């Protein structure tokens, strides 16, 4: 018995496998490095979706949404527009902490201020997924697409997987920084104690005081 696959599914399969391999490699690394940069993750997702016009990442900086990274000029422009107007799926996903998927109809009805500049960029759909970049910093990864019907379930799953990988690596990085800070504090405390003990010993010797 043969399983039928559409030409679109067959074409997408190598890209999907490549992204999953990339995410698996990231998650296998105990300490985050350059490969965990949000832009690199964004590019990996963009390359997996044939209808994508780019991926953008915005973050919550002191309560204000700000662009963080983008894989294309189009994604950067739409990220900047949403942050400037404080309206759009990326901003709403950031503030609500919920995944938002918009096709062309939803984009026009729910976010009309974004619909026109998106149309001029050839974007008719988007998918915004919230992520966590540490204890006190949230962000949104947004996939912009050309299809008026939005993204497929597989593309949505891939973006959610990428968001999960980004959250995981950011959390690991925060824990690593905290561990290093604690080690530095302990080292400083021990060093300070040693200096104090040496000073006490010197003073006692100068004044002829026995321990």
- Tens-place pLDDT, residues 79-131: 999 999 999 999 999 999 999 999 999 999 999 999 999 999 999 999 998 88
Reported as a single tens digit per residue, the pLDDT across 32-44 is: 444 445 556 666 6
Reported as a single tens digit per residue, the pLDDT across 139-190 is: 888 999 999 998 888 777 777 777 776 666 656 555 555 555 555 555 455 5
Other C-beta atoms closer than 10 Å to the C-beta of 160 total: 15
So what's the pLDDT on residue 9?
Answer: 47
CATH architecture under which domain 7-179 falls: 2-Layer Sandwich (3.30)
Q: Where are the beta strands (DSSP E) in the chain?
A: 52-61, 64-70, 100-102, 125-132, 138-145
Q: Which long-range contacts (CB under 8 A, 24 or more apart) does 17-20 make?
A: 18/44, 18/47, 18/48, 19/44, 19/45, 19/47, 19/48, 19/158, 19/162, 20/158, 20/161
Query: Could you state, in order of their start, the residue ranges of all structural domains in the chain?
Result: 7-179
Q: How far apart are CA 28 and CA 120, in angstroms?
A: 40
Structure-token match 């490699």, residue found:
25
């Amino acid at each position: 018995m043969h399983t039928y696959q559409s030409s679109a599914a067959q074409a997408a399969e190598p890209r999907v496998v490549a992204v999953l391999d990339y995410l698996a490699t990231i998650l296998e690394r105990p300490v985050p490095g350059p490969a965990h940069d949000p832009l690199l993750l964004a590019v990996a997702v963009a390359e997996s979706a044939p209808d994508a016009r780019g991926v953008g990442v915005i973050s919550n900086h002191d309560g204000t949404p700000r662009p963080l990274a983008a894989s294309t000029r189009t994604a950067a422009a739409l990220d900047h527009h949403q942050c400037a107007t404080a309206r759009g799926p990326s901003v709403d996903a950031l503030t609500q902490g919920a995944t938002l998927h918009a096709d062309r109809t939803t984009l026009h009805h729910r976010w009309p201020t974004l619909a026109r500049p998106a149309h001029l960029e050839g974007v008719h759909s988007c998918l915004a997924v919230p992520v966590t970049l540490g204890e006190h910093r949230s962000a949104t990864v947004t996939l912009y697409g050309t299809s008026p019907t939005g993204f497929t379930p597989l593309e949505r799953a891939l973006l959610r997987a990428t968001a999960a990988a980004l959250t995981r690596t950011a959390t690991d990085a925060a824990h690593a920084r905290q561990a290093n800070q604690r080690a530095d504090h302990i080292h400083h405390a021990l060093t300070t104690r040693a200096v104090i003990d040496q000073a006490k010993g010197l003073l006692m010797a100068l004044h002829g005081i026995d321990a």
